[in-house]
Amino acid sequence: MNDIRRSKRLSLWLRHDPGAGGLTLDGQGWTDVRAVLGAFARAGVRCDRNDLMRLVEECDKQRFELSGDAARIRARQGHSVEVALDWPRADPPELLWHGTVERFLPMILAEGLKPMRRHHVHLSGERDTATRVGQRRGTAVILAVRAAALAETGRDFFVTSNGVWLTEQVPPAFLEPW
């Protein structure tokens, strides 16, 4: 199994369905590295500690995070299971970016950006990153989010250690197709 497939399996376990790997996550989304290695073994997937460390390190989007002693692992964001991520609140820049596709636009412009099955709406500081996110689904359509103005209304923004901005939702008045 290559690293992309291992990474998808790990995303599934650490974000959406820990039970599928026989894993449990703590309140902040952490689980034991040894338990994850056991889950790969039970799933019949070759992934030893070195494979896992490489996957965490080389993952283009830095999706996963190890504890300081490398005994525990979690997904940095993107969960659908209930976890309380402890990302710091931060003041966003004037504009953040969201990449989506044409077919979602009418709904988004009518009701705003919603987290859908995740906990938060994901926004990027860089337009190029938003383009890549949108391109997962087709031709990317980019929305500018007037983030600083939204924060001034009292809406919280959080920033992950890999630079993804998270917020609960973005009302249509703060969105502009770019």
- Residue numbers at the binding site for ligand HQG (CB under 6 A): 61, 63, 78, 100, 104, 107-108, 111, 113-114, 116, 118, 122, 133, 137, 164
Specify the pairing of strand 31-32 against strand 72-75: antiparallel
Closest to ligand HQG by CB, 38 vs 104, is 104
Smallest gap from residue 100 Cβ to ligand HQG (A) = 3
Closest to ligand HQG by CB, 26 vs 126, is 126
Smallest gap from residue 83 Cβ to ligand HQG (A) = 15
Closest to ligand HQG by CB, 111 vs 128, is 111
> What own/partner pairs with CB < 8 Å and gap ≥ 24 does 57-66 have?
58/3, 59/3, 59/7, 61/162, 62/161, 62/162, 63/7, 63/11, 63/162, 64/7, 64/10, 64/14, 65/161, 66/33
Closest to ligand HQG by CB, 43 vs 62, is 62
Smallest gap from residue 40 Cβ to ligand HQG (A) = 19
Smallest gap from residue 42 Cβ to ligand HQG (A) = 24
